[in-house]
Amino acid sequence: MTTSTSTVDLSFLAELGLEGTLSGAYNGSWLSCNGSKLTVNSPADGSKIGVIEQANAEDYEKVAAAAQEAFLRWREVPAPIRGEYVRRIGEEMRKHKEALGKIVSWEMGKILQEGLGEVQEAIDIADFSVGQSRMMYGLSMHSERPQHAMREQWHPLGVVGVISAFNFPSAVWAWNSMLALVCGDSCLWKPSSKTPLTAIAMTKVAAKVLEPEGWGALIGLVVGRGSEVGALMLDDKRVPLVSATGSCAMGKHVAEKLASRYGRTILELGGNNAAVILEDADLEMAFRSTLFGAVGTAGQRCTSTRRILIQKSVKDEFVSKLVEFYGKVPIGNPLADGTLMGPLIDQGAVDDVLASIENVKAAGGKILCGGEQVHPEGCEGGTYMTPCIAEVQNEWQVVQDETFGPLLYIIEVEDLDDAIAKHNDVPQGLSSCIFTSNMRHAERFVSAAGSDCGIANVNLGTSGAEIGGAFGGEKETGGGRESGSDAWKAYMRRQTNTINWGTELPLAQGISFDLD
């Protein structure tokens, strides 16, 4: 079902300083950019919401040079003091949470509850990073040589490049930048050109804390063409680490460029996430989880549920109910109360999903519901479609290739062994889950012989990770890890120290190397 919209209150644009023509480059101050202008339209109704002067190569150099200079000073600031700055940034984000959530929603298209949740995620990682600033532990090791001590410690790495995608325009930057800052690094952010206003807003909020004390360049920003400013970042030896979120093809390019200059990457790429539903599952729990996992964010999360691997004995009951509720999902203005599914990011995204649906039909699949472009009242200029369910075979190429939108595949499986085999038989490996009441089935799924993904859940869905755990996936998902656990180590360099506090010079392994 579609919902109508009333006049949208855009006062949050003024609160976040997003009115008028905006600069797309920040290096401690907002630059007068030399690139072409970028007009930003909301996918909700097609209306223009901003104009940005994009950064070009000259602007990139100004931002990168300032980030490098700031890093050289910042690395000597004690980590707990760096954490105090991040704490204050988190507090500033709290002050503007509602406005930030609204710009995420209106610019990207996810419903307001999800926009607010994304900003909360940014706040949460700031809180997490504050604690981490006092817990970047090294090791003390015993030396084989007398009167020697060995230790391992972690040092700041340098300028961290962040390339973010449109679907999480604030949280992904925060995952990287909050940790990078407490680790002693500076950041250089190249956001998606589909959601640049959110990037400018987040930078403005953080700059309120950093800029007055001379640290604004720590959060450098360049809004510009990937072929220009993005390419410069990949080749920039001042940027030892690039964290990139996007498609598998984009990630492969980033990995090759960084490897050619011995740089590091954190890659968060495609997912083809499956939920295994066994005949002993709590079907109501599985149903509610699938509805959010597949329909939330219009299927544009990297952790969105793409495939349902379900046993035959419960398939008809589960699918029948899912189809019924798919037809009732309120679609429309993402800021309106009651909306559960907003627009896709642009017409190109809609066209990609529609093309995949045609490929499903050509392969012999059955469309069970949805899959049409729609134009809700009051949102006629937006890019909306009804969520689609299709019955398919796992080995079909259209299923093997992730479609980034609200297209859910139903795949019948015989038993747990068949489910795990089909689950793992895709190139991507981000998120996974199983619904079962059998402890042995659950433990098998999260064992080394089970899911091959970076995330494996039991009796909860593929989507909705908490910041406390390391986030990322295997295979063509890239192998990167961000956010919690020990992900902070990616933003630092490891150093082993051996200290001789004696008066002799014994060599390791008992080697004798004397002239006498």
Per-residue model confidence (pLDDT) at position 447: 98
Could you give the residue numbers annotated as active site?
268, 302
Per-residue model confidence (pLDDT) at position 276: 98
| pLDDT per residue as tens digits for the range 254-290 | 999 999 999 999 999 999 999 999 999 999 999 999 9
Taking Cα atoms as reference points, which of 53, 16, 68, 34 lies closest to residue 188? 68
Structure tokens at 38: 């970028």
Per-residue model confidence (pLDDT) at position 6: 52
Q: Per-residue pLDDT for 1 more than 80? A: no
- Give 208's pLDDT tier (boundaries 50, 70, 90): very high
Q: Per-residue pLDDT for 5 more than 60? A: no
Q: Per-residue pLDDT for 440 more than 90? A: yes
Alpha helices in 296-363 (DSSP H): 312-326, 347-363
Do residues 365 and 388 make contact, with C-beta atoms less than 8 angstroms apart?
Answer: no
Do residues 1 and 327 make contact, with C-beta atoms less than 8 angstroms apart?
Answer: yes
Lowest mean pLDDT among 4-8, 73-77, 400-404, 492-496: 4-8
Whole-number Å distance between alpha carbons of 68 and 25: 15
For the chain, what is the mean pLDDT? 97
Using the CB atoms, write b or e for 242-281: b if 16+ within 10 Å. bbbbbbbebbebbbebbeeeebbbbbbbbbbbbbbbbeeb
Give phi and psi for 98, each to the nearest 5. Answer: -65, -45
Q: What is the pTM of this model?
A: 0.96
Whole-number Å distance between alpha carbons of 310 and 394: 12
Per-residue model confidence (pLDDT) at position 3: 60
| pLDDT per residue as tens digits for the range 76-129 | 999 999 999 999 999 999 999 999 999 999 999 999 999 999 999 999 999 999
Per-residue model confidence (pLDDT) at position 203: 98
